[in-house]
């Protein structure tokens, strides 16, 4: 039972509980929002999940919701529940940096569609969270504004590129967050922070106003601490958007209903496919996974089986090309998407004589190394004489990966794997070895190439280091609901074993009020 | 020796190609809902999409796709069943995303041909390689240094025109036109201009930039008679941009042919490059020399989906294509029975529609032509205006002509009536009535006038009886004068001959 | 072996309009070369009959009606610009040809 008047308890509730409490009048949105702002003030000096905090805006939204509720008006389900947005989403009137110095200080004149939906859902926006610069990375170490620290162990990475969003959840700074996932940037941070994150089917959530990295791979998605919370948020942000020509023209899948059904714990008749190439055996890409990761994965499989699911092994042999294809398609599309950062209409300008030289000097100063690497790689992949061999070939690999998934989904309703090969590593450990960093994504990338939806939820702490591991579920395109059903069932089974959620086992963060430097 | 166009095309074999960009007259831009209008205050017609702001995404304009397909069908092109947009990547301040969304290896329209009819009636078939859809860039204004880009201190960018829909039409290389190359090039662009206006997809105004042409020209060695000219490899070509009028197209080809011939004749190479047309000096200047050609790194646009026009829709659109201008002219010429030269004059005078409308209002074609190309053209010339801007309608002319055919007016009276119409006095019938213009056909009045005239010129009757029938002319003249030109001259002559007791 | 040469990196950086110092080139060439080596295995499928996928979910013919939507105000449009003049974006000297 949450004592809502105690802010430290209030922030540890789930979003679903907060929504109920707001509805019941047990707490006001202003109280709730203030509690989270206070929490941010206490811990974000250490965690550094946020790049920008909008105290005034969040409280104004909260107050308006409270007033409308008191007046008996009908409100959307999550009205008054605070949320954090990855700083890749354009927010009118609020700074948006994409984690890059090249956009430091930019205040967009328009809202992303997802931002608009969140405003229409009357959710107070706490602020913008940290990310690897332009979402390029798996550790948030490539942010132009300093890394985010994993609340489970502040010396470790929170995952990336959406480490800020995941950390804000794990540090109880926000109950809900929006992330983006191009190769695992929602799922991998969820895995290493003990939280839940979903990449919807490609086109399931509008990309209008999400600063583009790789247009054919990017998806915005919901992040939370529980499967149900994630589903509630999914239904707010999903749906067709006429401003996004690639958005699906179909209703949002019934993910909340699926989550509630799954929580009842019966998976009879569900075929769960274990992808051989992503199990983390030594023969796989990049070698074997960490032992504790594999152990928790196996235990989670046992739980699914106990819930009535049938386990089958499937093989996706073309996955061996997935990482390579990804690291061609992404840089190629990104190199084109990032050309607009040219000092002319917005962002940094380092004036140097002519416009050509100004552009080159601006981009040299404004972009970090990882971004530069990928732009150059992408330029190479598209350049005359190399297209067929690189970008063209990578697009063919995509087709093969889709075929592998199609075949696998004949035998299974969902596919599963560990989300990441390891638990969170130390900040600085892999920063100088790009290839080693890329291996973080080996299990998550295939879903982006194929456009299918994926979820990561906590599968326990690795025994050897006590750090979070994640369980990945994949479903066919358009079948996002299956993720939630299976995920909720697993979550319930694990919670029964742990006596509560994994997050309840997280270490206390020091709550000295530190000056939060932004 | 410095080559002229004439000597260059005498000594070398010119091959040319044209790329025409047509600005579509859709209400909104190609990929966003900003208004597509000319001449507004800078940056008042922009949005995140056409401004290239981070996060914005393009959505294609259905009407623009339709216009492009109709244009392609008019050019005899096949319409691709599935085509993807492509990004053409390069950096330039007027290109807001630093890539242009265009079509690369999947143009919506491909492989067609267009019949172009030259002034003397010669018909030439121009092979069309493709017509594809793309977006326009914004506008740079250069400051300092005289307004041009050379020597400018800085530039100002307005993105109002950024994102406007364009269709780019590319011809196959056109060979074998010899000294008529410039003429054919000009006629081709004029035909395209007329075509897009007839389709209603563009206002076709070159002076406003809604039809733009880039002209490619190369020269190759001329083979001896009987040998196969097309076996000679094409020479290096220059591309001349900024050619803003039909006259400039001809002039640019004239200049380039001479310039290239000068180089080739002394063994110097022609550099494959982009050049700019300078209207003031009637010459071309080289563009910026680049160490290597720009690599545009084309790839399929990932933010949009393939355009797949159904075959049913394409056929539906085919039904909306107006008749090809050249075909229409052939048909009208045959219907009207005009000689080639007559037809040509009509077209050159831009009087085709006027005559067609006059015929539609009931006049015979030759009569209509006589009025518009004769009296009305003369008056227009005098007043230094276009014949189409005279305050008289084709319906007026048809009515006027009907009065002449009914015998109510003769040619001279008709012209007087016309004067009245032009002066705003009303329709030809009204003017004739008000001014009392009418041929006198009342025999007794005519006989009286004839008798009076004969009386005052007594020797004429004797001359006529003597066989000198032309002497009657003097009496006719006198009667016409007496009746202020309103006598039916033919009838007067008959009466005179009767009086003389002589027959024709 | 198609590793990326240092001169290739320099040329690509110029094409991408990113200034690189010698140290940058030194540092990045090795890293990029290694990445290119790792990713070029995709070339094994390049000649196959497999059709390329550019969009993960098969869809087509998404367009919008030719209907006007509100634009940004000029103030909003210019709001992020480093430099403006006369309601336009001001840029330093452009060399080269008219677009």
* pLDDT, tens only, B201-241: 999 988 889 999 999 999 999 988 889 988 899 999 999 99
> Can you name the residues that pair with A89 across neighbouring β-strands?
A210
Q: Is the dihedral of CA B256, B262, B265, B266 positive or negative?
A: negative
The tens digit of pLDDT for each residue in B91-146 reads: 999 999 999 999 999 999 999 999 998 988 889 999 999 999 999 999 999 998 77
- For B153, the closest chain A residue by CA position comes to A354
Chain C residues near residue B82 by CB distance under 8 angstroms: 60
Put simply, the chain C residues between 19 and 78 with a CB less than 8 A from any chain A CB are 19-20, 24, 27-28, 31-32, 34-36, 38-46, 48, 50-57, 59, 62-64, 72, 76-77
End-to-end CA distance of chain B: 69
CA pair distance B6, A84, nearest whole angstrom: 74
Tell whether A96 is within 8 A of chain B (Cβ).
yes
Out of A346, A359, A451, name the one closest to residue C80 (CB): A346
A159 backbone dihedrals φ, ψ, rounded to 5°: 90, 175
Mean predicted lDDT score pLDDT of chain A: 95
Concatenated DSSP letters for A286-347? TSPPPHHHHHHHHHHHHHHHHTTPEEEEE--GGGGGHHHHHHHHHHHHHHHHGGG-SSSSSS
> SS3 of A44, please?
helix
Task: Determine which helix (DSSP H) or strand (DSSP E) holds B416, and give its type and residue range.
Answer: helix B411-422
- Check residue B28 and report its DSSP letter: B
Residue A364's pLDDT is 98
**Is the pLDDT assigned to residue B338 strictly greater than 80?**
yes
Chain C residues near residue B242 by CB distance under 8 angstroms: 98
Residue labelled with tokens 């004068």: B481
Using CA atoms, how far residue B97 sits from A342, B53, B56, B242, in Å, is 9, 8, 10, 23
Chain C residues near residue B274 by CB distance under 8 angstroms: 97
> Can you name the residues that pair with B114 across neighbouring β-strands?
B126
The tens digit of pLDDT for each residue in A234-291 reads: 999 999 999 999 999 999 999 999 999 999 999 999 999 999 999 887 655 556 799 9
Residue A286's pLDDT is 52
Using CA atoms, how far residue A300 sits from A184, A493, B19, B69, in Å, is 20, 9, 64, 57
The tens digit of pLDDT for each residue in B481-492 reads: 888 878 888 888
> Can you name the residues that pair with C52 across neighbouring β-strands?
none
Concatenated DSSP letters for B33-90? -SB--SSPSTTSS--HHHHT-TT-----BHHHHHHHHHHHHHTT-EE-SSB--EEEE-
User: Is A276 designated active site?
Assistant: no
The tens digit of pLDDT for each residue in A211-242 reads: 999 999 999 999 999 999 999 999 999 999 99
Say how many CA atoms lie within 13 Å of B501 toward its Cβ: 3
The tens digit of pLDDT for each residue in A157-193 reads: 999 999 999 999 999 999 999 999 999 999 999 999 9
CB A64 within 8 A of CB A122: yes
Residue A155's pLDDT is 97
Residue A500's pLDDT is 93
Contacts of B488 (CB under 8 A, 6+ apart): B407, B410, B439, B440, B441, B446
Cβ A209–B56 below 8 Å, yes or no?
yes
Say how many CA atoms lie within 13 Å of A143 toward its Cβ: 31
- Check residue A100 and report its DSSP letter: -
Burial class (CB in 10 A: 0-12, 13-18, 19+), B280: exposed
The tens digit of pLDDT for each residue in A195-205 reads: 999 999 999 99
Sorting pLDDT into bands at 50, 70 and 90, what band is A514? very low
Tokens of A477: 């395109």
The tens digit of pLDDT for each residue in A442-457 reads: 999 999 999 999 999 9
Chain B residues near residue A379 by CB distance under 8 angstroms: 297
Sorting pLDDT into bands at 50, 70 and 90, what band is A512? low
Put simply, the chain A residues between 387 and 416 with a CB less than 8 A from any chain B CB are 387, 391
Residue C99's pLDDT is 39
Task: Determine which helix (DSSP H) or strand (DSSP E) holds B313, and give its type and residue range.
Answer: helix B311-318
- Chain A nearest C-alpha distance from B157 (Å): 9
CA pair distance B438, A15, nearest whole angstrom: 98
Tokens of A419: 């989300």
Concatenated DSSP letters for B322-344? PPPHHHHHHHHHHHHT--HHHHH
The tens digit of pLDDT for each residue in B141-164 reads: 999 877 777 778 999 999 999 999
The model carries a pTM of 0.86
Sorting pLDDT into bands at 50, 70 and 90, what band is A145? very high
| Chain B neighbours, 3+ Cβ pairs < 8 A | A, C
- Check residue B487 and report its DSSP letter: B
**Is the pLDDT assigned to residue A93 strictly greater than 70?**
yes
CA pair distance A285, B369, nearest whole angstrom: 84
CA pair distance B410, B439, nearest whole angstrom: 7
**Is the pLDDT assigned to residue B504 strictly greater than 80?**
no
Residue labelled with tokens 């974006």: C89
CA pair distance A155, A133, nearest whole angstrom: 20
Residue A517's pLDDT is 42
Sorting pLDDT into bands at 50, 70 and 90, what band is B293? low
Give the start-to-end residue ranges of the domains of chain A: 12-319+401-505
| Chain C neighbours, 3+ Cβ pairs < 8 A | A, B
Higher pLDDT, B446 or C81: C81
Sorting pLDDT into bands at 50, 70 and 90, what band is A516? very low
Give the start-to-end residue ranges of the domains of chain B: 5-290, 325-435, 443-500
Query: What order do you get walking across the sheet with B86-89 strand by strand?
Result: B99-102, B86-89, B299-300
Residue labelled with tokens 């006429």: A242
Residue B291's pLDDT is 45
Mean pLDDT of C30-58: 87
Percent of chain A scoring above 90 in pLDDT: 92
Sorting pLDDT into bands at 50, 70 and 90, what band is B496? confident
Say how many CA atoms lie within 13 Å of B294 toward its Cβ: 14
B443-500 CATH pick, 1.10.530, 1.10.10, 1.10.3470, 3.30.460: 1.10.10
Angle, to 10 degrees, between the axis of helix A15-24 and the axis of helix A227-237? 70
Put simply, the chain C residues between 26 and 65 with a CB less than 8 A from any chain B CB are 54-55, 59-65
User: Is A138 designated active site?
Assistant: no
User: Is A396 designated active site?
Assistant: no
CATH topology of domain A12-319+401-505: Amidase signature (AS) enzymes (3.90.1300)
**Is the pLDDT assigned to residue C2 strictly greater than 60?**
no
Report the alpha-carbon angle A217-A220-A226, nearest 5: 125
Sorting pLDDT into bands at 50, 70 and 90, what band is C97? very low
**Is the pLDDT assigned to residue A23 strictly greater than 50?**
yes
**Is the pLDDT assigned to residue B289 strictly greater than 70?**
no
CB B235 within 8 A of CB B15: yes
- Chain B nearest C-alpha distance from C1 (Å): 23
CA pair distance B416, B432, nearest whole angstrom: 8
Cβ A382–B299 below 8 Å, yes or no?
yes
Which of A391, C81, C30 is CA-nearest to residue B156?
C81
The ipTM is 0.95
**Is the pLDDT assigned to residue C58 strictly greater than 90?**
no
């Amino acid at each position: 039972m949450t004592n809502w008047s105690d802010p430290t308890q209030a922030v540890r509730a789930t979003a679903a509980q907060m929504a109920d409490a707001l509805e019941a009048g047990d707490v006001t949105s202003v109280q709730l929002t203030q509690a989270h702002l206070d929490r941010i003030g206490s811990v974000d000096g250490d965690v550094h999940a946020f790049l920008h905090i909008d105290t005034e805006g969040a409280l104004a939204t909260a107050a308006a919701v409270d007033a409308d509720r008191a007046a008996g008006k009908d409100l959307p389900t999550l009205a008054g529940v605070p949320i954090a947005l990855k700083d890749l989403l354009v927010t009118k009137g609020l700074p948006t940096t994409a984690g890059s110095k090249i956009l430091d200080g930019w205040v967009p004149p328009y809202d992303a569609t997802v931002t608009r939906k969140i405003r229409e859902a009357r959710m107070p926006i706490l602020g913008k969270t940290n990310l690897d610069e332009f979402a390029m990375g798996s550790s948030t170490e490539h942010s132009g504004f300093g890394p985010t620290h994993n609340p489970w162990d502040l010396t470790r990475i929170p995952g990336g590129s959406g480490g800020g969003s995941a950390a804000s959840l794990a540090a109880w700074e926000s109950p809900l967050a929006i992330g983006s996932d191009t190769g695992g940037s929602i799922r991998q941070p969820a895995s290493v922070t003990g939280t839940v994150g979903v990449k919807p089917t490609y086109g399931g959530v509008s990309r209008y106003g999400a600063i583009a990295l790789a247009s054919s791979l990017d998806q915005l998605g919901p992040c939370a601490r529980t499967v149900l919370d994630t589903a509630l948020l999914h239904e707010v942000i999903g749906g067709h958007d006429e401003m996004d020509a690639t958005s699906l023209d179909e209703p949002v899948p019934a993910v909340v209903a699926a989550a509630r059904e799954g929580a009842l714990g019966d998976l009879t008749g569900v075929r769960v496919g274990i992808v051989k190439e992503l199990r983390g055996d030594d023969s796989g890409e990049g070698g074997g996974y960490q032992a504790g990761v594999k152990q928790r994965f196996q235990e989670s499989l046992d739980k699914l089986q106990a819930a009535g699911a049938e386990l089958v092994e499937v093989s996706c042999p073309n996955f061996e090309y997935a990482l390579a294809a990804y690291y061609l398609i992404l840089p190629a599309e990104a190199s084109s998407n990032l050309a607009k950062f040219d000092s002319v209409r917005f962002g940094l300008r380092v004036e140097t004589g002519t416009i050509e030289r100004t552009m080159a000097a601006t981009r040299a100063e404004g972009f970090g190394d990882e971004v530069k690497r990928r732009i150059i790689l992408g330029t190479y992949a598209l350049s005359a004489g190399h297209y067929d061999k690189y970008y063209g070939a990578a697009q063919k690999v995509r087709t093969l990966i889709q075929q592998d998934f199609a075949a696998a989904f004949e035998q299974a309703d969902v596919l599963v794997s560990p989300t990441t090969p390891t638990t969170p590593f130390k900040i600085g450990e892999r920063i100088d070895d790009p290839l080693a960093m890329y291996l973080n994504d080996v299990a998550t990338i295939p879903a982006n190439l194929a456009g299918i939806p994926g979820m990561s939820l906590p599968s326990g702490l690795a025994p050897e280091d006590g750090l979070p591991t994640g369980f990945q579920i994949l479903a066919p395109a358009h079948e996002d609901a299956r993720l939630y059903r299976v995920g909720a069932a697993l979550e319930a089974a694990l919670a029964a074993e742990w006596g509560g959620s994994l997050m309840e086992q997280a270490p206390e963060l020091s709550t000295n009020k530190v000056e939060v430097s932004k | 020796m410095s080559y002229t166009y004439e000597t260059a095309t005498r000594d070398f074999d010119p091959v040319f190609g044209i790329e025409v960009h047509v600005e579509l007259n859709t209400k909104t831009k190609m990929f966003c809902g900003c208004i597509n209008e000319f001449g507004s205050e800078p940056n008042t017609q922009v949005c995140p999409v056409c401004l290239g702001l981070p996060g914005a995404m393009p959505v294609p304009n259905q009407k623009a796709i339709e216009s492009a397909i109709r244009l392609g069908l008019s050019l005899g092109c096949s319409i691709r069943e599935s085509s993807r947009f492509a990004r053409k990547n390069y950096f330039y301040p007027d290109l807001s995303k630093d890539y242009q969304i265009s079509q690369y290896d999947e143009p919506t329209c491909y492989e067609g041909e267009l019949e172009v009819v030259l002034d003397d009636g010669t018909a030439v078939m121009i092979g069309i390689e493709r017509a594809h859809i793309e977006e326009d860039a914004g506008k740079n204004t250069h400051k300092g240094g005289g307004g041009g880009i050379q020597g400018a201190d800085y530039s100002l960018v307005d993105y109002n025109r950024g994102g406007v829909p364009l269709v780019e039409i590319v011809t196959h290389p056109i060979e074998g036109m010899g000294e008529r190359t410039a003429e054919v090039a000009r006629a081709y662009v004029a035909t395209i201009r007329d075509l897009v206006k007839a389709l209603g997809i563009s206002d076709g105004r070159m002076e406003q930039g809604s039809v733009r042409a880039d002209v490619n020209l190369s020269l190759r060695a001329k083979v001896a008679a009987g040998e196969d000219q097309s076996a000679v490899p094409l020479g290096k070509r220059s591309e001349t941009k900024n050619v803003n009028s039909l006259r400039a197209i001809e002039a640019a080809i004239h200049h380039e042919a001479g310039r290239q011939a000068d180089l080739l004749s002394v063994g110097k190479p022609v550099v494959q490059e982009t050049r700019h047309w300078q209207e003031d000096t009637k010459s071309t200047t080289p563009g910026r020399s680049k160490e290597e050609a720009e690599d545009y790194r084309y790839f399929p646009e990932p933010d949009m989906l393939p355009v797949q026009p159904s075959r049913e829709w394409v056929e539906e659109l085919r039904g909306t294509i107006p008749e090809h201008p050249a075909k229409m002219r052939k048909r009208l010429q045959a219907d009207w029975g005009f000689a080639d030269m007559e037809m040509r004059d009509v077209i050159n005078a831009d009087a085709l529609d006027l005559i067609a409308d006059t015929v539609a209002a009931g006049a015979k074609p030759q009569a209509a032509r006589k009025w518009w190309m004769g009296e009305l053209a003369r008056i227009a010339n005098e007043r230094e205006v276009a014949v189409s801007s005279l305050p008289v309608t084709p319906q007026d002319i048809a009515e006027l002509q009907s009065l002449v055919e009914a015998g109510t007016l003769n040619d001279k009276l008709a012209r007087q009536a016309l004067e009245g119409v032009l002066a705003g006095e009303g329709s030809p019938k009204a003017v004739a009535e008000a001014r009392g213009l009418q041929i006198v056909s009342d025999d007794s009045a005519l006989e009286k006038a004839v008798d009076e005239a004969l009386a005052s010129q007594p020797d004429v009757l004797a001359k006529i009886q003597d066989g000198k029938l032309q002497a009657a002319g003097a009496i006719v003249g006198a009667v016409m004068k007496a009746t202020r030109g309103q006598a039916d001259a033919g009838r007067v002559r008959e009466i005179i001959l009767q009086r003389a007791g002589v027959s024709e | 072996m198609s590793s990326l040469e240092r001169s290739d990196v320099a040329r690509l950086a110029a094409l991408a309009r990113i200034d690189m110092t010698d140290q940058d080139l030194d540092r990045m060439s090795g890293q990029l070369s290694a990445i290119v080596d790792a990713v070029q295995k995709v070339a094994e499928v390049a000649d196959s009959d497999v059709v390329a996928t550019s969009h993960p979910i098969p869809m087509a013919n998404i367009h919008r009606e030719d209907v006007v939507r509100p634009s940004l105000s000029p103030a909003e449009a210019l709001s992020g610009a480093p430099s403006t003049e006369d309601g336009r974006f001001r840029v330093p000297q452009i060399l080269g040809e008219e677009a």
